[in-house]
Structure 1
Amino acid sequence: MELETLTLTTSEGVAHVQLTRGEQLNTMTPQFWEDMISAFEAIEKDGSVRAVVLSSTGRHFTAGLDLNSATLSQGEDQDEARRAYSFTRHLKRLQQAFNVIESCRVPVIAAVHGACIGGGVDMVCACDIRLASDNAYFTIQEINIGIVADVGTIQRIPYLLPEGIVRELTYTGRKFPAEEARSFGFVNRVTGTHEETVDAAFAMAQEIASKSPVAVMGCKTLLNRGRGMTVEQGLDYVGVWNAAFIHGDDMKEAVSAQMQKRPPKFADIS
C-alpha cells in the first residue's frame, strides 16, 4: 500500500500506524486524510489484527492542520448554497479520517508525545485509549485561529472529560499538559519518554491481542453504541449481541485454557 504521510505495519496481531512527517511536525496535509482512511480500511480487512497502536515521529505528535495547504473555500465559482454544500462534502471526508478510528472493530491506543494540537486532539479523541509521555500536551487550537473544531473534538471529548474542563479548553485554547490530562482521566497514564510511551502502548495492545477477538469487538461495539442509548436499551442490545455471538468457539477456548493453565489460542476474524 502506498502511503505518503504515515506507515502501516503489522506484527503478532498488533497494527502500528505511525505518522512519518516528523520534520514537518506531522501537520495534516490533504494526503494525510486519505492515508488515514486507507490505513484503517486495510486494518479492517485484515482479520489477524486485534489491536492498533497510533504513534508518530519527530519532536511532536502533530501540530494539527497544515495551514499552508488548507482549503477553507470550496466551489468558489458557485452560488452560496452550492459553495456551502461543497464545503460540507469536503468536511465530511475529513471527518471520515477519524471516524474510521472510532468505528475500527479493534481497540486503538494512541501514544502521544510532545505537542498534540488541533486536529491531533480530534484524532486522539477517536481512539479508545490514550497514553502520553511526560512532555506531552494537548491544545484545542481551533479557537486560536477563529474557527470551531469540526472533525470530532467537540462531539467526542465531552465523554472523556468533565463538562467544565471541556468548555474551558474549548473556549481558551490553552495547553492541557499530560499530568493534568491524566488527573482527569483523558490519558490513562503518563509514561516518561516518547519511546517508553510507545513501548507501553505496544504492551497494552499485545495484552488486548491475547483476548478473544470476538469478545473485544463486542466490548468496543457496545461501549460505542451505548453512548446513545438508555441503560434499558443498552441491556437489550447486549442481549441480542450475545445471543448472536456467545455460541462461537472463543468462550469454550477461553474456559479450557484457564482450566488447563495455558494461553488461549483464538482464531482470527475472517
Structure 2
Amino acid sequence: MSDTYSCFKVSVELGIAHIQLSRPDALNSMIPEFWRELPALVDRLDETGDVRVVVISSTGKHFSAGMDLSVFTEMAKRFKGEPARRAEKMRRSVLSLQDSFSSLERARMPVLVAIQGGAIGGAVDMISAADCRYCTKDAFFCIKETQIGMTADVGTLQRLPKLIPAGLVKELAFTGRNWHADEALAQGFVNQVFENEEAMLEGVMRIAKSIAMNSPMAVAGTKEMLNYARDHSVQESLNYMATWQSGMFQMPDIFEALEAQKEKRVPRYEAILSKGNSFD
C-alpha cells in the first residue's frame, strides 16, 4: 500500500497484511493520529476483499506504552462548557476511541497480534480485540488506567472477561500489576510464547499463511460465528448459524478444496468481494 501513515508501516503479500506500529522511540504510544489511522487502515484492508489475514506487530523494545499524554491533553482542552453538552461530547469521544479497536473485530479476516516487551494500558484494549495473540517470553501486560486514576474505557473491561477468568481480570484491573507471558499463556490469553521477536514473527507468519490457504468465505464465516456465539446464547447462535448457511453454504469452494486434496496442490479460491458501495 502506497499511503503513508504516522504510526504504522503496512505491507501486503500473498493475502497477508502486515501492520507494524512504527514509533519505537516513543514506545509506540497512541497519539491522536493512531486512533484515526488504525480503523481507517483496517477498514481499507477489509474493503478490498484481497486480504485474508492481518498480522499486527510492533517495533522497538515495547509493543506499546498505550495512550499518549497528548490525547489526554487534547481532551482536557475540550473539557469545558455546559455540563450536559460537555458530557455528551465526551461520550462521543469515548465511542470513537472504542471504534478504533472494534475495527479489528469488525474485519472479515482474522487478526493476529505479535507482542514483544510491554503492552500497557490502551495496548491491552487493542490486543483484546484481536482474534489471536502471541508474545515473546519477556512480554508483559498491564491494565495501567487504574493506577492513573481512571477506569479503562476502550474495551479491556468488556473483552477480557470473555478471554480469561473474571476473578483474574478483576485482580489485574484493580491492582494494575504487570501480568507476564507465562501467566498469560497459562490462562489462555496468549496462544503461544516464543523465545524472541524473530522466532515469534516467523511463527505467527507461518500460522497466517496456513489461514490464508483456506477458503476466505469459510474463514470469514467462522470468525462471524465465533464472535456472535461469544455474545449470545447457544440457541441464538445455532439459529444464526442455520440462517447464515442457508445463504453462504455454496459448493464451489468445497469442490476446490476436495480437488486440491486429491491433486495434492494448494487450493485456489476466489477472493471475497470488495465491500465497496452497494451499487458498485
TM bracket, shorter-chain basis: over 0.9
Give the match's secondary structure for 1:83: helix
- Corresponding residue of 1:28: 30
Aligned equivalents of 2:126 and 2:251: distance in 1?
A: 34
Cα displacement string for residues 240-260 of structure 1 (whole angstroms, at most 9, x for unaligned residues): 111111114211111221222
2:252 aligned with 1:222:
no
* Paired AA for residue 38 in structure 1: A
C-alpha displacement of 1:2: 2.8
2:246 aligned with 1:251:
no
Give the match's secondary structure for 2:76: coil
Give the match's secondary structure for 1:8: strand
- Corresponding residue of 1:52: 54
C-alpha displacement of 1:261: 2.3
- Corresponding residue of 1:97: 100
Equivalent of residue 66 in structure 2, options 57, 64, 67: 64
Cα displacement string for residues 9-46 of structure 1 (whole angstroms, at most 9, x for unaligned residues): 10001001110000100000000001101210111112
Q: Percent identity?
A: 40
TM-score scaled to structure 2, two decimals?
0.94
C-alpha displacement of 1:69: 3.9
2:81 aligned with 1:87:
no
Aligned equivalents of 1:195 and 1:42: distance in 2?
A: 28
User: Aligned-pair RMSD on alpha carbons?
Assistant: 1.2
2:262 aligned with 1:236:
no
- Which deviates the most, 245-254 or 47-56? 245-254
TM-score scaled to structure 1, two decimals?
0.97
Which segments of 5 or more consecutive residues in structure 1 lack a partner in the other structure?
none
Which segments of 5 or more consecutive residues in structure 2 lack a partner in the other structure?
274-280
Equivalent of residue 260 in structure 1, options 260, 263, 269: 263
C-alpha displacement of 1:199: 1.5
Aligned equivalents of 2:248 and 2:168: distance in 1?
A: 39
C-alpha displacement of 1:129: 0.3
Moved over 6 A (4+): none
C-alpha displacement of 1:77: 4.1
Q: What are the residue-to-residue correspondences of 1:113-262 with 2, within 5 Å? A: 113-262=116-265
Aligned equivalents of 2:38 and 2:56: distance in 1?
A: 11
Cα displacement string for residues 175-195 of structure 1 (whole angstroms, at most 9, x for unaligned residues): 100011000100000011112
Give the match's secondary structure for 2:69: coil
C-alpha displacement of 1:269: 1.0
Give the match's secondary structure for 1:227: helix
Aligned equivalents of 2:179 and 2:156: distance in 1?
A: 14
* Paired AA for residue 171 in structure 1: F
- Which deviates the most, 25-34 or 198-207? 198-207
